[in-house]
Structures are given as C-alpha cells and as structure tokens.
Amino acid sequence: MTSKKINILKFTKFIGLCLLILCSVAYSLPRAETSSLQKNETIVKEIVIRPIENNDSLGDKIVSFGMRLLGTPYIVAGSGKNGFDCSGFVYFVFNHFKIQVPRSSSQFENYGKEIPIGSVKKGDILLFFSPTRNVIGHIGIVSNPKGMESDFIHATSGREMKVVVTSLKKPGYTSRFVKAIRVL
C-alpha cells in the first residue's frame, strides 16, 4: 500500500468516528416539544431587567459631591480641585454631573427658575448681593433645605478662605440674600 492510500484510510476512519460522536451527542441533547406549537409560533422566555435602585436624587448627589470638596482653598477665579471662587465651585460641581451653568456669579441673575426660599431643595442655588455693590456677587448650593435657615455649601472669600457649609441665617448672608434658583 502506498502512503497516499494509507492516509485516505486514516482520514476515512477519522470522518466516520467524528460522525459517530456527532450523532451520539445530538441524540443525547434535550428535545424541544414542538407538537403543541402552531406553524408560526415561537417560545420566548420572559426576562425582566430592573434598573439598579438608587434612592439618591440628583440634588443629593450634587451635595454629596460638593461636600467631598470641603476645605478646598478659596482662589480668585479658581474652578479646579486646587481651589475655587464661589462660582467656580458651583460650576465645577454641576459640571461633574454634565449640567452646564454659568461660570460667573453675576450671570446667575437671570439663569434658572426662581423659587420661593421655603421651597428650596438640595442642589438649588442661592444668590447673594456683593458686600459692596448691589449686584449678584456670591452663590452657593443648598445642602440642608430649611427655608431661611437653610445651610449651603460654598467657597467663601471671608475669614475661612475655603469651601465651607454656612447657614443662611448667619447675619452676613441673610441681609445679602437675593433669591433661590433651581437649575435641575
């Protein structure tokens, strides 16, 4: 026998063995019951996909993120983790959540929806007059809504010179308070 004939014999045996294995595997597989199905019917398994529950509102997330920045230094015109001014802080926090807001506190005067102070929620923005002029000169994010006693987180150029939480009832802020706005 030539080597060519031997190779053909080996190949034929190999194919036969493969067919035998395939047939036995196919025979042992579970069979679908199709006798009760009509011609164009299909069996579909019901799969329910539920979103991951997250009870935190966007306002809660904004405040939580802002709180992580407590103690960050106040820097004039700052808008990064190395330091913030008041509008740079608000801009940085909202931008983290892909929410566009103005970069300058004065630009907030006609921005967002004005809301009564008694209706503020976490994540709303408080606007204040500048200490020396009758224009919007300071802003902060409501962190604990309680009407005129709400707490807010902001970058202060006052004594602390950093990101802090302050109560709206603090005299220096109560007298300068202009309005609350909602951008969410």
> Is-contact 70 164, C-beta < 8 A?
yes
Length of the chain: 184
Name the β-bridge partners of 39: none
Active site residue 86: yes
Active site residue 154: yes
- Written as one letter, the residue type at 28 is S
Q: What angle do CA 171, 174, 179 make, to 5 degrees?
A: 165
Residue tagged active-site, from 18, 23, 96, 154? 154
Active site residue 138: yes
Across 120-148, b (16+ Cβ under 10 Å) vs e yields bbbbbbbbbeeeeeeebbbbbbbbebeee
**What is the chain's alpha carbon radius of gyration, rounded to the nearest angstrom?**
34
Q: Which of 110, 129, 92 is nearest to 181 (CA)?
A: 110
Residues known to be catalytic: 86, 138, 154
